[in-house]
Structures are given as structure tokens and as C-alpha cells.
Structure 1
């Protein structure tokens, strides 16, 4: 899951790794929407929501997951929901709309 180069553009990496699939699921799974909303609210309260800060937060979070040997599975575990919240915020805030690394 953590292929070479994942840290160069962490927001794009997480969107490709978990985001697209889970954001699509949110359209039909209200429980996932509620869980993602809770994680997004926690992030909004904890950090400024700009490309650099959200990307730095993601780098730290993903690096810890890498050290723990975490990989995405079929279940909505805490890590997957948090990563989905990061993807949702990045999409909603338009942080992936240009060609610059994120």
C-alpha cells in the first residue's frame, strides 16, 4: 500500500488508495457518512484546513499506520474512516483541483 513516492503527494495518494471507493460508498451508506463527519469535525477543530497543514497531518498519520503494518481492508476501521475524512475534506475544500503536489 505504501509504494514509493506516497509521501511526495500525500493527499493525491490517499485519494487514490482509499478515497474514491469510500467517498462513493458515502452516497448510499448513512452510517459511513456519520462516521466520516465526526472525523472531519475533529480535524476541523484540531488543525487549519489548508493544503499544507492537511497534507502534513496526513503524512504523520499515514507514517504511523505504515509503522504499524496497517493496510486497507474491507472493514471501516478507525484508520480507514479517518483517511476517508481527510479525502472528503480535501475534495470539499478544493485542495486537489490543480496540478501542484498535495
Structure 2
């Protein structure tokens, strides 16, 4: 994952293009990935209100921490990738990417 210019203007859409679409597609054929992402979704549901603004704020803070740690998405389903996939799943399921608004 490369943080190109402007990623913070629409972080949910950027994340979907960078990681989410491929990870969500993998879930169709990988029940283990579904279970792991579901656990991260449950944590997020318990931790934050599930509105667009709060999810975006959470994502920005999480990405900032990942950049600070030097984390790079390698294609593996490590804990950060699972959490980011959970954010994408929630954004899609809650309809946060359906309208034309920045997400």
C-alpha cells in the first residue's frame, strides 16, 4: 500500500481501491478469511459508532499508526490487513461508498 497524494481526501474509497476490493473478493472463496474479518468487524462494532464520519476518523488514525510503524500490505492476511478489510466490509455493507460523497 502506497500512500499517494490525496489519499486522505477520500480514505474509504482509497482503501477500497488499494486493498479492499481484492480482499473482499478473496472472502468469497476463503471461509477462514471471512471468520477472521468477522472478528474484526465485531471489535469495530463494539468500539465505535458505525457512522461514516466516525469510521473515516478511525481509519485515518489507524492508517497513521500503520505508517508510523512502517507497515506495508504484503498481500498476507495479517492483523492490520484484516482490520482494514473489516473497515472496507463495513463501509460497503453500510452503504458509505454508494453515493458520490467523499468517503
TM value normalised by structure 2 = 0.96
Name the count of aligned residue pairs: 102
- After superposition, where does 1:1-102 map in structure 2 within 5 Å? 1-102=2-103
Q: Which runs of 4+ in 1 moved over 2 A?
A: none
Residue 71 of structure 1 deviates from its aligned partner by 1.1
- CA distance in 2 between partners of 1:74 and 1:99 (Å): 29
Residue 69 of structure 1 deviates from its aligned partner by 1.2
Residue 74 of structure 1 deviates from its aligned partner by 2.3
Deviations along 1:4-47, one digit per CA (max 9) or x if unpaired, are 11111111111111100000000000000000000000000010
For residue 7 of structure 2, give the secondary structure of its aligned residue in structure 1. Answer: coil
Residue 70 of structure 1 deviates from its aligned partner by 1.1
